[in-house]
Amino acid sequence: MVVGNVPFGDYKVFDPKYNKYNFRIHDYFLAKALDQVRPGGMVAVITTKGTLDKANPTIRKYLAERAELVGAVRLPNTAFKDNAGTE
**pLDDT confidence of residue 60:** 94
Domain limits, the chain: 2-84
Report phi then psi at 5, rounded to 5.
Answer: -120, 105
Helix then strand then coil, in percent of the chain rounded to 5, is 35, 10, 50
Whether residue 76 is predicted with pLDDT greater than 90 in this model: the reply is no
- Percent of the chain residues topping a pLDDT of 90: 63
Whether residue 69 is predicted with pLDDT greater than 70 in this model: the reply is yes
Contact 12, 28 (CB under 8 A): yes
Quote the mean pLDDT of the chain: 89
Q: What is the pTM of this model?
A: 0.82
pLDDT tens digits for 14-46? 999 999 999 999 999 999 999 999 999 999 999
Around 87, how many Cα atoms within 13 Å sit in the side-chain half-sphere? 1
